[in-house]
Each structure stands twice: as structure tokens, then as C-alpha cells.
A and B are shown apart, each in its own frame.
Chain A
């Protein structure tokens, strides 16, 4: 017998890939919601809206200060005990919720830094030609902030895809959960986990390639 059961691994690939859509769907939903929430939090921080600013700081502190796994268990196992209507929540919803809140806390800070980083004199120039605050944000500040924020936000997205594997601890059969089940059936743990590792790795490399292309396009205006 060889060291690696290659036939088993090749046979496992299509089985595991059939769970990939769920993994990607959770990450995509988490990313869209986290981005929306993070933009809101960043604007609150930039404009220092009284009251909301303090609440935002507390939110960011908590969700950056505690492990994602603790947060997921808190939502899935903990909260339903105190809020009875949450018994309806499934593992997938709880995972998306956890990913959204956890990553929005990190993303809010990078978006805020990107907005603040846009050269102040361009803001004055936009005001001097009679733009309103909204026009200046939309046409001058946000496009430039996006360019600065994209690399970090893409990194968070990559992190988030890997973090969906924690959903299996809430009983969700996604990519990781499926691997676990297959391995338990065949006892070929090494083959199973090296296969799933390669699948995650491949997705992340694909995204990193997209990220480089996107950054190249966004940097067009800044090449000398």
C-alpha cells in the first residue's frame, strides 16, 4: 500500500466540491452584509456622531476582542436560551450573523482609515468649486478611499472564506463538515484533510489573483 490513497482522494474531490456552493454562499452573504454594516460604522466614526460613536466603539471593541468561535457559540447555543424567538435560528443563519458582526468590526476600521487618508486639500478643492458634502464624498473621497481599502478588504474576505469552516461546529455540513463525515467513514483522515486543505488553498489563490488584477486597475490613475 502506498503512503497516500490517491484514488480515494480523487474520488473525494467531486463529493467535497458539491458542498463548496454552501461555503461560498455563506462567505458571500457575510461579506455583503459586513461591508454594508462596516460602511455605516465607518461613517459614524468619521463624522463622530454623538452617542452612536461611543456605541460603535464598544461594538468594535467587543467583536475584535473575542474569538469568532466564542461569538458563534454565543449566537447559536447561548442567545436562544435568553431570547426565545431565536430558537428558530439555524446553524447557517447563525454563522452568517457571526461572520457579519465579527468582520464588520475589523472592516469598519480599515474603511475609516481609508476615508480619513484622502488628502484633505482635495476636500477643500471640491468645496471651493461649490460641491455639496454628498457630492464630494461620492465623487472624490469614496473612489479614492476604495482604492486604499480594497487590498485589506479582500484579505478579510479571504479570511472569511476560511472562517466559514467553523460552521461545522454548529452542525452545518459545509466543506469542512462534509470532510469530517467522509473521513470518519473511511478512517483516511490524512487523505481527507489534505484534500480539503488543497481545495481551500485553491479558492484563496484564485481570489488573490482577482485581487491583484483589481488593484492593478484601481491604481491606473496613480502611475507616474
Chain B
């Protein structure tokens, strides 16, 4: 279970996250939507301390931290309880697909090499890239790279996988295979927090959709409710822009 309490993040004078409260149950799939620059990605990056939040409390499974007082050990612990999928894949360029997935198991979890590689092979099988085990990222398509990126996150066995616009850098032809893999994970009830502009994915897969604007959560609810009957005028406004057939 993930709990975010009054999370605040500032960049200089501008407040990017202005007191975020969010709870995620185990196995829940949450999609965060909203206009660009409203702090969606920053929220994800604060959850595993890629950005240092300025205030708030985080509960990640058995770990509870006051972000201001978080020690180096707390930050490492938080990162081991969250896994991150990047917009630009961010695969390790000097490692094969297999090694990208096994790297964290070997270095962070201290598994023996053989065991880590065996697990990485299982994951490659699940993401449909068993034949690309020894391929380096430079030789993979965008869609394949992002699936390895997701495989690397799966290997971490984290409380939650954070997806930061996972399909935004992809050529249109690769989007479906990545969304397909994410749907497969959702069907397995992998806890997920997804920032995306793929409204169809939000509508079909999310248990709950969160609408953010101006560093705040404006409104949240099941997709059927939020897409059909948004309560806040800002939500209605946003949905009108991104969904041509949204209710007026």
C-alpha cells in the first residue's frame, strides 16, 4: 500500500506539487492525467527521490518517511520499493537486454549471477523478447527498448511500478505493443501508477483516474465516472480538449 501525504515540491519560486494526497491499494492501477506542466511527472519522480520533495510524508509498504528528514538509507529503501519506467527508456547502453533486466538483481539485491540471469530470462519470455536476450539497446526498436525498460522495472519486484509517459517518445507503430504489455501487467494486478496521455488506456485499464492541474489533484474517480460525468469545470475543460466526443 502506498500513501502520499501533503507532498510539496518547489523549483525555485514555483510550486510544482502543492500538497498532494494520494492512496494506492495493492494491485490497484491508477492513471494520472492532466495538462502538461502540472506536476504529474514530478509526482512520480518524488516518489522514488529522483527529485527531493520539500515537504510531506510517504508510506511505501513497510517504509514510512518524512521526506525532509529522509536519510540516504531511507532514499535507497524508497527506491527499492518503487520501480520506474522512463519516457525515453533510459536503458543501460553498455548492457544487453538480459543484463539490463538482471543488473538490479545482481547489484542491488546481491543475487548470484546465474539466478539473476535465470529470472531475467523468465521476464524476457513474459515481455515477448526471449530472442533478444543478447541484443544491445542500440539494435532494438523503440517499442522493444521500452518493453525491456518495463522488464527492468518488473525485475525489481517493487511495491509499485511508476510509468512516466511510457509511450510518449515512441513512433506510433510501437505504441500498441507497449500498451499491450502494460495491460498484461494490469491483468496480473501489478500495482501501477501511470502518467500518460493515452486516454483510451486510462478508460479501459485504470481502476481510478486522477486529474491533476496546477500541482494539485483536482478530482479523481473510476474512469467511467470521471470521463462521463466530471464534476470540476477544469476536468471538463481538459477532457473536452483531449476527447472530441466528451460530454459538453
Residue among B84, B86, B94, B107 with most chain A CB within 10 A: B94
Closest chain-A Cβ to B203's Cβ sits at a distance in Å of 28
List chain B residues, Cβ under 8 A from A224: 138-139
B35 within 8 Å of A by Cβ? no
| Residues 75-130 of A contacting B (Cβ, < 8 Å) | 119, 121-122, 124-130
Alpha-carbon gap, A119 to B90, bound state (A): 8
Closest chain-A Cβ to B212's Cβ sits at a distance in Å of 21
| Residues 76-130 of B contacting A (Cβ, < 8 Å) | 76, 79-80, 82-84, 86, 88, 90-96, 103-104, 107-108
Interface residues on B, range: 20 to 34
Closest chain-A Cβ to B38's Cβ sits at a distance in Å of 21
Closest chain-B Cβ to A221's Cβ sits at a distance in Å of 4
Closest chain-B Cβ to A39's Cβ sits at a distance in Å of 19
A-B contact count (CB 8 A): 72
A126 and B80: CB pair below 8 A?
Answer: no
A46 within 8 Å of B by Cβ? no
Given contacts A125-B92, A147-B94, 8 further A-B contacts (CB under 8 A): A124-B90, A128-B84, A130-B76, A131-B104, A131-B108, A135-B107, A140-B94, A221-B93
Determine which of A121, A128, A139 lies in contact with B79 in the assembled complex, contact meaning CB atoms within 8 Å: A128
Closest chain-B Cβ to A174's Cβ sits at a distance in Å of 39
Alpha-carbon gap, A133 to B84, bound state (A): 17
Residue among A121, A125, A129, A223 with most chain B CB within 10 A: A129
B107 and A139: CB pair below 8 A?
Answer: yes
Closest chain-B Cβ to A160's Cβ sits at a distance in Å of 28
A180 within 8 Å of B by Cβ? no
A128 and B50: CB pair below 8 A?
Answer: yes
B193 within 8 Å of A by Cβ? no
List chain B residues, Cβ under 8 A from A220: 136
A129 and B83: CB pair below 8 A?
Answer: yes
**Shortest 3 CB-CB contacts between residues of A and residues of B:** A129-B104, A128-B84, A125-B90
B88 and A221: CB pair below 8 A?
Answer: no
Closest chain-B Cβ to A74's Cβ sits at a distance in Å of 42
Nearest neighbor of B149 in chain A, beta-carbon distance: A125
List chain B residues, Cβ under 8 A from A135: 107-108
List chain A residues, Cβ under 8 A from B88: 121
List chain A residues, Cβ under 8 A from B208: none
List chain B residues, Cβ under 8 A from A222: 93, 136, 138
List chain A residues, Cβ under 8 A from B92: 122, 125-126, 140
Alpha-carbon gap, A144 to B79, bound state (A): 24
Alpha-carbon gap, A129 to B82, bound state (A): 8
Determine which of B50, B94, B156 lies in contact with A127 in the assembled complex, contact meaning CB atoms within 8 Å: B50
B9 within 8 Å of A by Cβ? no
Alpha-carbon gap, A222 to B50, bound state (A): 27
- Return 5 A-B CB contacts under 8 Å, by A number: A122-B93, A130-B156, A221-B94, A222-B138, A223-B138
Alpha-carbon gap, A16 to B111, bound state (A): 56
A121 and B108: CB pair below 8 A?
Answer: no
B104 and A130: CB pair below 8 A?
Answer: yes
List chain A residues, Cβ under 8 A from B144: none
List chain B residues, Cβ under 8 A from A131: 104, 107-108
Nearest neighbor of A218 in chain B, beta-carbon distance: B94
Contact with B along A125-165 (1 / 0, CB 8 A): 11111111001000110011001000000000000000000
List chain A residues, Cβ under 8 A from B79: 127-130
